[in-house]
Amino acid sequence: MGVVQYVLFRFLIVKFDLKTPGREEETLNSNVSAAPSGNEFEQMAAIIYDGLGGDQNVTSVDNCVTRLRMEVKDMDAVDQAKIKSTGVPGINIVGPNSIQVIVGTKVQFVADEIKRMRKNQ
């Protein structure tokens, strides 16, 4: 039974180009501006923070082992394509005002840069 399901689903996904997780269209945003510094985490943090709507939209920033956890005022102001342009593996929307950006094990460096940017604003 499992073999039949696999073959059927694989055929349907390929035939109709169904967008399953990991098969989304990647959009290259050519007008994404990076931070002036050469620090890769600073650049990544700047793009993610801008994609979240910046100071006008982000209310809190926290992180766990692999994810940035943010609270935002307006989820419609979040530009997921811009955030994904940094190469992050994924984005989870966990509530009407909560979003998680999956960065990986180097999330602490990105979180520190975002927190530093928030203090300087």
- The set of catalytic residues is 64
Nearest partner of 49 among 36, 59, 39, 37, judged by Cα: 59
In whole angstroms, give the CA distance from residue 42 to residue 33.
12
CA 107 vs CA 59, 63, 68, 90: distances in Å: 19, 7, 7, 13
